[in-house]
Structure 1
Amino acid sequence: MGIKGLTKLLAEHAPRAAVQRRVEDYRGRVIAIDASLSIYQFLVVVGRKGTEVLTNEAGEVTSHLQGMLNRTVRLLEAGIKPVFVFDGEPPDLKKKELAKRSLKRDDASKDLHSAIEVGDEDSVEKFSKRTVKITKEHNDGCKRLLRLMGVPIVEAPGEAEAQCASLCKNHKAHAVASEDMDTLTFGAPRFLRHVTDLSFKKSPVTEFEVPKVLEELGLTMGQFIDLCILSGCDYCENIKGIGGQRALKLIRQHGCIEEVVQNLHKRYTVPEDWPYQEVRTLFKQPNVCTEIPDFQWTSADKEVMLDNSYHTVHIFPQADSCFLFPGPCEFSGI
C-alpha cells in the first residue's frame, strides 16, 4: 500500500521535487528494484484473462517468469544495471496489515465464485486479480531466472523497500525504482517511478530526490516520517479523519506527532496503544543488510538444464548469451 495520498500531496505541495527524465538518462546506472512488487504486478497482469493464467506444460504458473524476463531484458537493453531485491521476514508491526490483506483475498475468492456462477465476466476479471498472492515458489523461480540471466539479486532480511533505500544510501545503487512511495520514507536519496513500466520508452521517468522533497515541504527527515505515519502507512493505524493534507498542516504547526497528539482537537480519537514511536524507529532504523559485496552482471548461463519450468532458450545477441524462456515456445532471437 505504501503511504496514503503521498503522491497527490507531493504533486500539490512539492511539485519541483519531481523531475521528468528520459530512461536514457540512467544508462550505465545501478538501479535497485523491489522484486516482490514486480512479481505481484506480473501475476496480476501477464497472461491473465479471468481465471485463466499463463502456465507451462506441467500446469505451473509462469506469468511471473515471463514478466520478469521481459522487464529485465528491456532494462538491460536500455543500458540500465538492475539489482532485484527480495523481501525477507516482515516486521511484527506489519502483521495486522498482512492479516487484513488475507481477509480481503478471502472475500475476493467468495465474490469470484459468485461471479463465475452467474457468468459475470467483468466481475470475474476484477475479483480474480484480487485473489493473487506471492508464494515462496514464485520468488524462488524468479531468483533462479535472474541468476541464470547473470543479474544480481539481494535477499533482504526484512522489507525490500528498506533494503533498496539502504543500497542507495550506501552508494551501492544510484536510485531505487518502485511504485511504492514508502521507499521515500525509508530515506532513499533518489527514487524513480515508471522506470519499470514495460512501456517506459514512451512514458517519462519521474525522479524524486529526498533533499528536494524536504526542502519543498519545509520539513526535516524526522518530520517527513511523522507526516507519513499520520497520513497512513502499512505498519499502524492512522487517526481517523486525518489524511495527508491535514497531517502536513499539523506537522508544520506542531513539529512532531507527540505535539500533534497533545494539541489535537477533541473530535479526533487517537488509536488505543498507537505504536507510532515503534513505526518511527522502523523507518529510521529498518532491518537491512549493509555488508553487500560489489554487484556483478555476467553473461547468461548457456549450460541450461531444461525442466518443467524452463523449456527453451531465448537469444539476446548483443550480449552473445541466452536467456531461459518459461514455457514451451519456439527458439527465437531478439
Structure 2
Amino acid sequence: MGITKLADLIRQDAHVAVSHKDISDYTGKVIALDTSVVMNQFRTATPSQSPLSGLFFRTLTFLEHGIKPVFVFDGKPPVEKTPVLEKRAAAAGWRSANCTGAASTQTKDCLQLLKLLGVPVIQAPGDAEALCAWLVRQGTVDAVASEDMDTLPFGANILIRQLNAKKESEVVEYSLTKLLEKLQISHVEFVDLCILLGCDYCDKIAGLGPKRALTLIQKHRTIENVVLHINRKTHPVPLFWKYKEARKIFLDAPQTVAPELTWAEPDEEALVKLLFNVKEARVRRRMEKFRQTRESKREEREKETAAGGSRQTRMQDFFRVTRKREKPVDAADPLSSKRKKPKSK
C-alpha cells in the first residue's frame, strides 16, 4: 500500500521535510481524508465491530478541535492497479477484488453517516489519494491526512500521518516542497523515484534498494536513463514494464471540478437511528460532550479576544462554505497561507 520504504528514505535522507505536531495545530484547517484508509484502520483495530462507530467518534473529535474534515471516497481504480487489488483481496479472504469502484453497503453507510455529521464528502473519479492531492494543489483544502505515502507523488504539498485524535499520539507532517529541495530533484523525478521504490501501479526493478534508487535518479534523472546504467543481471527490468503508465497516473490531474465545501450541524436523531449497533445512551453522551466542548472553545476564543488575542469567531462561522482560493498556495509553507474568507451559508 503506497510507496515501498519511502517514509524510511525520507527520515534518513530528508528529515528536514518531516515535522512533529499536535492535533491542535490544525485548528481552522481544512483537511482532506482518504476515507478508505480511515475505514481500514478501524477494521484492523476492531475487526469485530462496525467501523461506522469509529468514524463517528473520530469525526466529532476533529470537529471539536476546529478541524474541517473533507472525506474523499474512491472511484473506479486504474486498470494498472488490478493485480495489487487482487492480491489484497486474496490476503483478506475476500471472494474478489473491487475493480469497478462500485460502493459496498458499508461504504454507502459511511457516506450517510458523514452527511448526518454535517461534513462534506466527495466522490473521486479514480483513487481517492489522487483527488486529495489535487484538492491541496487547487487550494480547496490545506492538507491531506492519510497513511498512504503515495499522496506525495500525486503532488500533495502537505501530507499528515497519524492524525488519529489520540491524546498520546504525535502527528507527523511531511512537506513535499522541503522534500524535493533536500533531495535536489523535481516532482517528475520524484515520481520516477517512487516507481523505482515500488508503487501500486506497476512492478519494480528487482534488487534495487531505496538508497540506490535515489542515487540513480539524482544522477540520471529519468527511469529511461536509469535502465541504461544498471546491471540487468543483478537488477532485471520487469518484462512489459508499465512504468510509463504509472508515471502518467501520478502526474495527470483528476478530471473533475473543484467543489464548494459546506459544513452543517450534526443531525443527532438521525445519527442515533443509523448507529443502531451502538447504545443510544453512548451516542447521545458523545453528542452532548461535543456540544459542551465546542461551547467551551468558543468561550476561550472570546477571552482571548477580550485580552487582545485573536479575532473572535462565532460557532456559526465554522459551518459555512469554503470556496477555492483565488491565489495559489505558498509553496514554502502551504498551511500558513491566508484563505479567502468564504461566504456564510
What TM-score, normalized by structure 2, do the two folds share? Answer: 0.76
Matched with 1:45 is 45
Can you give the 5+ residue segments of structure 2 that lack an aligned partner in the other structure? 96-101, 293-345
Please say if residues 164 and 176 of structure 1, whose CA atoms lie closer than 8 Å, have aligned partners that are also in contact.
Answer: yes
Matched with 2:262 is 296
Q: Is 1:277 equivalent to 2:244 in the alignment? A: yes
- In the alignment, the residues of structure 2 paired with residue 292 and residue 320 of structure 1 have an alpha-carbon distance, to the nearest angstrom, of 28
Q: Is 1:139 equivalent to 2:107 in the alignment? A: yes
Structure 1 vs Structure 2: percent identity of aligned residues?
Answer: 40
What amino acid maps onto 1:93 in structure 2? E
Matched with 1:218 is 184
Q: CA deviation at 1:78?
A: 1.3
Match of 1:159 among 127, 137, 147: 127
Question: RMSD of aligned C-alpha atoms?
Answer: 2.2
Aligned with 2:262: secondary structure?
Answer: coil
Aligned with 2:33: secondary structure?
Answer: strand
Please say if residues 32 and 82 of structure 1, whose CA atoms lie closer than 8 Å, have aligned partners that are also in contact.
Answer: yes
Please say if residues 17 and 179 of structure 2, whose CA atoms lie closer than 8 Å, have aligned partners that are also in contact.
Answer: yes
Q: CA deviation at 1:38?
A: 0.7
More RCO (CA 8 Å, sep 6+):
1
Match of 1:231 among 197, 200, 219: 197
After superposing on structure 2, the runs of 4+ consecutive aligned residues of structure 1 that deviate more than 6 Å are none
- In the alignment, the residues of structure 2 paired with residue 16 and residue 88 of structure 1 have an alpha-carbon distance, to the nearest angstrom, of 34
Q: Using a 3 Å threshold, how does the CA distance of structure 1 residues 75 and 309 change in structure 2: closer, same or farther?
A: closer
Matched with 1:189 is 157
Please say if residues 161 and 186 of structure 1, whose CA atoms lie closer than 8 Å, have aligned partners that are also in contact.
Answer: yes
Aligned with 2:267: secondary structure?
Answer: coil
- In the alignment, the residues of structure 1 paired with residue 52 and residue 87 of structure 2 have an alpha-carbon distance, to the nearest angstrom, of 27
Q: CA deviation at 1:304?
A: 2.4
Please say if residues 140 and 258 of structure 2, whose CA atoms lie closer than 8 Å, have aligned partners that are also in contact.
Answer: no
Q: CA deviation at 1:317?
A: 3.5
Matched with 2:143 is 175
What amino acid maps onto 1:224 in structure 2? F
What amino acid maps onto 1:207 in structure 2? E
Please say if residues 191 and 207 of structure 1, whose CA atoms lie closer than 8 Å, have aligned partners that are also in contact.
Answer: yes
Q: Using a 3 Å threshold, how does the CA distance of structure 1 residues 157 and 135 change in structure 2: closer, same or farther?
A: closer
Aligned with 1:36: secondary structure?
Answer: helix
Q: Using a 3 Å threshold, how does the CA distance of structure 1 residues 258 and 42 change in structure 2: closer, same or farther?
A: same
Mapping of residues 298-313 of structure 1, within 5 Å: 298-302=264-268, 304=270, 310=276, 312=280, 313=283
Matched with 1:70 is 57
- In the alignment, the residues of structure 1 paired with residue 289 and residue 273 of structure 2 have an alpha-carbon distance, to the nearest angstrom, of 26
- In the alignment, the residues of structure 1 paired with residue 150 and residue 16 of structure 2 have an alpha-carbon distance, to the nearest angstrom, of 19
Q: CA deviation at 1:305?
A: 8.3
Q: Deviations over 1:115-169 (max 9, x none)?
A: xxxxxxxxxxxxxxxxxxx971111111101101111111111100001101111
Q: Using a 3 Å threshold, how does the CA distance of structure 1 residues 14 and 306 change in structure 2: closer, same or farther?
A: closer
What amino acid maps onto 2:284 in structure 1? H
- In the alignment, the residues of structure 2 paired with residue 265 and residue 92 of structure 1 have an alpha-carbon distance, to the nearest angstrom, of 30
- In the alignment, the residues of structure 2 paired with residue 240 and residue 104 of structure 1 have an alpha-carbon distance, to the nearest angstrom, of 22
Q: Deviations over 1:183-220 (max 9, x none)?
A: 0010001111111x241x32222111111000111111
Q: Deviations over 1:286-319 (max 9, x none)?
A: 43523312x1110112452875753735252476
Q: Using a 3 Å threshold, how does the CA distance of structure 1 residues 288 and 182 change in structure 2: closer, same or farther?
A: farther
Q: Using a 3 Å threshold, how does the CA distance of structure 1 residues 224 and 310 change in structure 2: closer, same or farther?
A: same
Q: How many residues align?
A: 280
Please say if residues 3 and 181 of structure 1, whose CA atoms lie closer than 8 Å, have aligned partners that are also in contact.
Answer: yes
- In the alignment, the residues of structure 2 paired with residue 284 and residue 308 of structure 1 have an alpha-carbon distance, to the nearest angstrom, of 39
Q: CA deviation at 1:257?
A: 0.2
Please say if residues 113 and 271 of structure 2, whose CA atoms lie closer than 8 Å, have aligned partners that are also in contact.
Answer: no
Q: Deviations over 1:242-267 (max 9, x none)?
A: 12211101101111100001122132
Q: Deviations over 1:40-74 (max 9, x none)?
A: 1111212x4xxxx12xxxxxxxx211110111011
Can you give the 5+ residue segments of structure 1 that lack an aligned partner in the other structure? 55-62, 110-133, 322-334
What amino acid maps onto 1:82 in structure 2? P
Aligned with 1:140: secondary structure?
Answer: helix
- In the alignment, the residues of structure 1 paired with residue 125 and residue 84 of structure 2 have an alpha-carbon distance, to the nearest angstrom, of 19
Please say if residues 166 and 288 of structure 1, whose CA atoms lie closer than 8 Å, have aligned partners that are also in contact.
Answer: no
What amino acid maps onto 1:140 in structure 2? K
